[in-house]
Amino acid sequence: MDLKEQIDKTKLPQHVAIIMDGNGRWAKKRGNQRIFGHQNGVKAVRETIEAAAELQLKFITLYAFSTENWRRPQDEVNTLMHLLITTLNSELENLKKNNIRLKTIGDLNSLPKDVSEKLKNTIDETANNSGLTLTIALSYSGRWEMTEAIKRIAQDSSKGTINPEDINEDVVYNYMQSSFMPYPELLIRTSGEFRVSNFLLWQMAYTEFYFTDILWPDFRKEDFFKAIINFQKRERRFGKISEQINENNK
């Protein structure tokens, strides 16, 4: 039985988030510059999206570029932005053919104009697709997203359009840029690192974490399926005890 057949289709996560890590180390191991790893990581992105679509998942979010990544060498940043455009150009027809909707989260105003325009075009072209929602986190950080939400809440509070006493977790999330998607049930991080790197901090309060030593350019469908199988073996208690979970499942 192959890995895909081992997956229980009744216990799939709605939303999987992925920190795609290890491109630079993958390239250095082969005596190449870091950008060589980013270029080869595109195949891993394609296979991961295909795997998610095959399982009929609803949401997948890829951490492509953090606000902190702007501190990297300028030539690497420039090449990454160019790679993003070429990938969007090459993958647009596949997204449309496979009924995949593209969304983005992050400080898109900080992106180069040609990148933001290409993103907007691809988002518009796929807006009516009803299958998997693929979200790319670009110039994103969890702290940035929460700070922006707090600013908007404060503005509305000062205008009297929201009462501070009415603010709860749902209200806060509705002010966040990522409020169109459910909280991720599973986070996958490649390359053997054990941290969340400022990614979806509010959303991952009860997310299951799956870490693998595989460097991102080597990540394939089978590795994605392994993560799903591992997730399905977890008992998700959300602060309760096992007996309560078992009782509710009867």
Which of these is catalytic: 69, 98, 198, 230?
69
Q: Is 128 a catalytic residue?
A: no
Which of these is catalytic: 2, 8, 21, 230?
21
Q: Is 21 a catalytic residue?
A: yes
> Within a 10 A sphere around the Cβ of 218, how many other Cβ atoms?
17
Q: Judge contact between 36 and 79, C-beta under 8 A.
A: no
Which residues does the annotation mark as catalytic? 21, 69
